[in-house]
Amino acid sequence: MDFANIKLNDPGVIVSDREDILEVLMQEIGEEGCGVVCEEATVFKDEDGWKLMLEGFMEPWHLGHTLAEAKASIREYARMGFGLS
Q: Is residue 61 part of a domain?
A: yes
Angle formed by the axes of helices 67-80 and 15-34, nearest 10°: 10
Residue 3: is its pLDDT beyond 70? no
Is 16 strand, coil or helix?
helix
Identify the pLDDT of residue 11.
52
Identify the pLDDT of residue 7.
47
pLDDT-derived band at 84 (thresholds 50, 70, 90) equals: low
**What is the residue range of 55's domain?**
31-37+46-85
Q: Is residue 6 part of a domain?
A: no
Over the chain, what is the mean pLDDT? 78
Kindly state the average pLDDT of the residues 62-84: 86
| DSSP H or E stretch at residue 50 | strand 49-53
Q: What's the domain count of the chain?
A: 1
What one-character DSSP code corresponds to residue 32?
A: H
What is the rounded distance in angstroms from the CA atom of residue 35 to the CA atom of residue 50?
22
